[in-house]
Structure 1
Amino acid sequence: MVNQLTSLVRRQAAKYGNREVFSHKDYSTNRWVSTSWNRFAEQVSDMAKAMVILGIREEENISTYTQNKPEGLIVDFAAFDNRAVTVPLYPTSSLDQIKYIIDEAEIRFLFVGGQVQYDNAIIALRECPTLEKLILFDPDIKRAESDSSSVYFEDLIAMGKSADEKVCEEVERRRNAGSPDDLATLIYTSGTTGEPKGVMLAHSNYDEAMRIHLQRLVTCSDKDVSLCFLPLTHVFERAWSYYCLTVGMRIAINVDPKDIQNTIREIRPTIMCSVPRFWEKVYSAIQDNLSKMKGIARRLAERAFVIGRRRNVEYLRAGKRVPLWLECQYRFYDKFVFSKIRRAVGVENGNIFPTAGAPLSDTINEFLHICGINIVYGYGLSETTATVSCFDLVGYEFGTVGSLMPDIQVKLGENNEILVKGKTVMKGYYRKPEETARVFTEDGWFRTGDAGKVNEQGALVLTERLKDLFKTSNGKYIAPQALETRLGEDKYIDQVAVIGDQRKYVTAIIIPAYEALKEYAAQKQIQYRNLEELVKNQKIQALISERIEALQKNFARFEQIKRFTLLPQAFSMEKGELTNTLKIRRSVINLLYKDEIEAMYA
């Protein structure tokens, strides 16, 4: 039996032929380059044969270290043809991070995206005992003088194209020898605590993920255009991209993460996966524009949100027929308010916008739905091949992460920990039997590390991340994510790390939204020479204090932030403060800002 992902590209090429499968922007010409299904299938076939010639073995781990590029997908499916296992590395990973994974997974062949990745990879080539060869995606990569073993991707494709019959037969043999139990990928967790762990996902996990998503996402079709924005290293975007290919929808690959705002306006996608951080920024920008409105325009917008909530939240969400009088009003306000908002963001053609990976504020979630932006909020982990639950088309509830996916089981364990069972749950952590044993119950349920409950309607509610939960010296438990998510709604607050473990009260390290602060400073004629001076200004401190007080008023007194510190620079992946998926690393922040934290408790 040939695995679904292994046969996918050939099946779809036979169906779609010269129709576009994906496109990407060539920044040297500033144009979008299209690839057809036939071309994709040909490239996968050539690369699969080249892998045999290179000496890649069945069930061997090979790795990609690249930003989102078409070549990454070609390598994935060529690896599946060979029963090889792909190990994606984040393009932003440091030398130490990639060396750890290369050593543990015993990588011999590393596919490299661009110059930044190459500069790390060439050092790893010298220092990692197993690493033998780099394959370079970008022909413009400048190789080190000492580098005599690296090969360019296009040269490898040419090698596969001229392969002899014996090589072709070997690829065919491997392909047919595939089993659902074969590993497809090792997805390394970003490691908010401790060292990263390789999540072993088999072909059977992905096959099941495809099946249940086809069953749940009934509005998706081959007419959709999905913008590939999150790193393909992340299980969310990776599994979603495989789903897009399964459905036959076109994928626009965003090569440069910093260019996403331009890309989304150029592509105007019907679908895009994202983390809440993206929509928080969209919400802040919309709120900022609304705050500047005056007179008739402001009253028009305010009335639009009343009508939008009534139609989209009270009727459509509940599956009720919208009264004609309400529909007529909505169409008016949609034309003059909501459509302009969606067009400004680039999502006016929207079908669904899957969002997961961190908590999303109910206020922001509801606001986007009011505007006609269909956020499909969900919950999942690398260990569950992404989605455990997500919003349904109708009946979804704010304050939840949606209903369970078909045939996924959930129950609550100790401390209300969410336990999951189903065919999408991983085999375990690579070469970490003790860690694997720790996250499974004796009867085979996976421990997520998240606490929650299932409400009366069957929707999953997250309450806290158990690892993040801390206790003040007064014995009160604090769930920091709830407070961080609430504060993240504010236009003047960009990032928050709540502090308070074994302390008398709760404090926070806050990264303000610098552009909004500068604008406020200009309005109030606040003089400053640099950001450090601006964040220490008493009027700025008073502004943030007022905003925090208003935002946290519904939290219990012991949960509320008593003091805060504003930083003049944002948290970053480079300094280790953020994971590759933009989650904060609390242990690193506690260490780096030890002096600032101690000062708040002086």
Structure 2
Amino acid sequence: LVNSRSEKLSFAREHLNALFGQRFPMMFLREHVHFTPESSPEQLAVINYTSGTTGFSKGVMLPYRSLVSNVLFCNRTIGIAPGDNIVSMLPMGHVFGLVYDFLYGVCFGAHLYFLTRMPSPKVIMTTVAEFHPRIMSCVPLVIEKIFKKEVLPKIDSKLGKLLLHIPIISEKIKEKARTESLRLFGGNIKEVIIGGAPFNAEVEAFVRSINFPYSIAYGMTECGPIICHSPWHETAYMSCGRAAEGMELKVLSSDPARIPGELVCRGRNTMLGYYKNQEATEQIFDADGWLHTGDMAVINPEGDVYIKGRCKNMLLSASGQNIYPEEIESRLNNLPYVNESLVIMYNEKLVALVYPDLGESLKDGLDDHALWRQIDISRQELNKELPPYSQITKVVLQNEEFEKTAKKSIKRYLYQNMNP
């Protein structure tokens, strides 16, 4: 107990063993455990914070209804068995880690192993080699680093690139990559669930081509967290799956399958509201009970949801075209020497802020100017593949990693008004 304003609570914490022994002098039995009755699904269970991508964190009031619905959905779509191992690398303060790792694992008999250091590829590889997890939940950045630094270098030679275009040999290389990937994830992995941020399109294409068992989970704290998720073998490329059971979705657009609009949802997973913030609660829920996610999306006729970007992040070109910076950043992040990027609008032109991969540049003997030059050449090549209205006019290198929230989303609001 780090801090307490209650003498009663402080006393209880300091005398925990003695008080427990007085309460249960013989043994602690099943009949001593009392769960919230099914007749009280709307009772408040957890107040969870939202990570402040806007600069203002809020307390999300999640009822038992939401937590139970999410945990049961996890079991239907993933399905662990008692005794399976879960390696947890997400903070318990974030609802994705709280539900997908902790609550789901405990409720269905899994063994949980928590990382005690930052989840670098080296730390993760060491951990999974020891505990052989059945499932893992993580943010895209972790998966991207593992595949870029541990898998791709072993097949990404000139010969490998050539062979990938020859169908017969290509399958052999892909099988080798799949075997190596499964080994790196402990050799027992059933599924890796990715969520919390957009997944790099090129990395996903590679992961998909080798039939690696990954799936994309989409949601928000306000839904505790799941809105969309499909089993890995049903997940469509670049989609975040279909509506979770008990959730209803629609896109506020004249043509939801082709024209992006805000994604709204309602159902069993949604929160009660924001703690002591009625104004914010009324802003996110409309009169019909739809929760406005703040994300732009399209939904195809099969029900697959494709997130385009945050409504508030959308940029408008001089010609009136909608630009989703996340889509451009996904392409930028796959370029040589680029670690991560952020696209901003300056004087009606797009500028890419880039935090470079300094380890790779030092290994290749590049000074600051040579590094910038290499990335700028890549920018020019990338522009040939982008529509005229979304082309990047220049690259500005950042000396430090972008500031992020707990779920590793860049705090965009800190950089939007920069003068590059």
Match of 1:488 in 2: 333
Aligned partner of 2:21 among 142, 162, 170: 162
Partner of 1:102: none
Could you tell me how far 1:550 is from its partner in structure 2?
3.2
SS in 1 for 2:313: coil
Which residue is 2:152 aligned to?
Answer: 287
Which residue identity is paired with 2:17?
A: A
Instruction: Give the match for residue 257 of structure 2.
Output: none
What are the residue-to-residue correspondences of 1:188-587 with 2, within 5 Å? 188-218=49-79, 220-240=80-100, 241-258=102-119, 259-285=123-149, 286-291=151-156, 293=157, 307-308=170-171, 334=175, 336-343=176-183, 345-413=184-252, 416-473=261-318, 475-500=320-345, 503-521=347-365, 526=366, 534-535=367-368, 537=369, 539-571=370-402, 577-587=403-413
8 Å Cα contact 2:140/2:194 also seen in 1: yes
Partners of 1:288 and 1:491 within 8 A in 2: no
Shift of 1:172: 5.8
Change (3 A) 1:272 1:395: closer
Q: CA deviation at 1:353?
A: 0.4
The superposition leaves residues 485-541 of structure 1 with CA deviations (integer Å, 9 ceiling, x where unpaired) of 22122341111111106x2210011100111111222xxxx4xxxxxxx33x1x222
Please say if residues 483 and 552 of structure 1, whose CA atoms lie closer than 8 Å, have aligned partners that are also in contact. Answer: no
SS of 2:328's partner is helix
Distance in structure 2 (CA, Å) of the matches to 1:276 and 1:270: 18
CA distance in 2, matches of 1:290, 1:333: 9
- Deviations along 1:170-216, whole A, 9 cap, x unmatched? x9697567832221111110111141111110111111112223333
How has the CA–CA distance of structure 1 residues 226 and 255 changed in structure 2, closer, same or farther, with 3 Å as cutoff? Answer: same
* C-alpha distance 568-393 of structure 1, shift in aligned 2 (>3 A): closer
Aligned to 1:100: none
1:250-297 Cα deviation digits (max 9, x unpaired): 211212225434323322322110011111112321333434x465x7
Aligned to 1:84: none
Q: 1:303 to 1:173 in 2, by over 3 A?
A: closer
Query: Is the CA contact 2:178–2:212 (under 8 Å) kept in the aligned structure 1?
Result: no
Q: Distance in 1 between matches of 2:7 and 2:300?
A: 52
In structure 2, the residue matched to 1:588 is 414
Q: Could you list the runs of 4 or more consecutive aligned residues of structure 1 that deviate by over 4 angstroms after TM superposition? A: 132-135, 171-178, 297-308
Task: Give the Å deviation of 1:472.
Answer: 4.1
Mapped to 2, the partners of 1:365 and 1:182 lie a distance apart of: 40
Q: Is contact 1:200–1:428 with CA below 8 Å preserved after alignment?
A: yes
**Matches of 2:54 and 2:174, distance apart in 1:** 47
Shift of 1:428: 0.7
Rounded Cα–Cα distance in structure 2 between residues aligned with 1:134 and 1:450: 45
Distance of 1:340 and 1:278 partners within structure 2: 17
Query: What secondary structure does 1:350 align onto?
Result: coil
Distance apart, 1:554 and its partner CA: 2.9
Higher Cα Rg, which structure = 1
Aligned residues: 405
Amino acid at match of 1:430: Y
Percent of paired sites with the same residue: 22
Residues 269, 214 of structure 1: alpha-carbon distance in 2 compared, 3 angstrom cutoff: closer
Q: CA RMSD in A?
A: 3.1
**3-state SS, counterpart of residue 82 of structure 2:** coil
Shift in CA distance, 247/551, structure 1 to aligned 2, threshold 3 Å: farther
TM-score normalised to structure 1 length: 0.61
Mapped partners of 1:589, 1:134: distance in 2 = 46
Paired residues for 1:11-160 under 5 Å: 111-112=1-2, 131-132=5-6, 155-160=14-19
Structure having the larger proportion of residues in helix? 1
Shift of 1:390: 1.8
State TM-score, norm by structure 2.
0.86
The separation in 1 between residues aligned to 2:11 and 2:351, in whole angstroms, is: 50
Q: Distance in 1 between matches of 2:152 and 2:187?
A: 18
Cα gap change, 1:584/1:294 in structure 2, threshold over 3 Å: closer, same or farther? Answer: closer
1:187 and 1:235 in contact (8 A); partners too: yes
Q: For the Cα contact (< 8 Å) 1:350–1:373, is it kept in 2?
A: no
**Whole-angstrom distance in 2 between the partners of 1:429 and 1:251:** 30
Q: Answer whether contact 2:85 2:111 (CA < 8 A) is retained.
A: yes
Q: Aligned partners of 1:479 and 1:134: how far apart in 2?
A: 53
Alignment-mate amino acid for residue 192 of structure 1: T
- Report the 3-state secondary structure (helix = DSSP H, G, I; strand = E; otherwise coil) of the residue aligned with 2:138: coil
Query: Structure with the greater relative contact order (CA < 8 A, sep ≥ 6): 1 or 2?
Result: 2
Q: Which runs of 5+ in 2 are unaligned?
A: 254-259
Alpha-carbon shift at residue 369 of structure 1 (Å): 2.9
